[in-house]
Structure 1
Amino acid sequence: MSASDVSVFDSYVYVAEDVNSLVILKVNPGKTSSLFADFSSNITYCCAPLSVQFNDSSQNATAWNWGFGDGLNSTSQNPVHTYFSEGIYTVNLIVSNANKTASKTSTITVLETTGSDEESSGEDKEKSAGVISRKETGNLTKESKKLLSLL
């Protein structure tokens, strides 16, 4: 038998010893060592304080190191992090296993928190309404009309 008599398909090796027989050997390739970093979050922008649930969907990772862009870190697989200040934060996930390291980045946008109705003067409400109306595009939805009526 020569190397040309052996073919590999999926997880089995088919060996033809001659035209009248076939030997099938199952091959167990074992766990792949490919490492891929990936994650998602339940929210990517809102007003401060903004609590974000990060969900790891990396493949073959055994260790996690999150950088939240505000100087704080976590080694949890699926951390929750709260942003208290306005800004655009770059979130970095570095995953590793015994052989490799991989990373992924994404951004979280935290908007300025506006005061409560009791704290805002009429002038402040008008300014806020102006900002909101400039950001609106197209027709107003029920939700945006409701929001504008609160201001």
Structure 2
Amino acid sequence: MTDTIAEPPASLTRKDFVSDQEVRWCPGCGDYAILAQMQKVLAEIGVPREQTVFVSGIGCSSRFPYYMDTYGVHSIHGRAPTLATGIKAVNPDLTVWVVTGDGDGLSIGGNHLVHCMRRNVDVKILLFNNRVYGLTKGQ
């Protein structure tokens, strides 16, 4: 037995959640504010980066996993809730986030989102609503 006292984990800051990837959203886009607040809040509440996974589909919001220094998966259009359900089922100790937009999550992937909620899967859903298919510049 050792007499050493375990040190408490170092507190995290917003910068701990900032990846080395260049953010590629349009100037003035509200997605920047969502990203900054998510990085800030996760640090404040002490969420372990190595236990956090962001899963996204297709669209402006879905670049989110690239900009977070956590685990992340960029999946196909509308299928992020399905993939997140599988991740959570395999490793229930992970904190799993679905990051989706109104087009990806409510249009193309609406059925997957509804069934994820119906199953009451322990995932968090962050839905960006910019009221447009942004990658098409307003289709």
Q: TM-score, normalised by structure 2?
A: 0.25
The structure showing larger relative contact order (alpha-carbon pairs under 8 Å, at least 6 residues apart) is 2
Q: Higher helix proportion, which one? A: 2
Q: Higher strand proportion, which one? A: 1
The structure having more radius of gyration, on CA atoms, is 1
Q: TM-score, normalised by structure 1?
A: 0.23
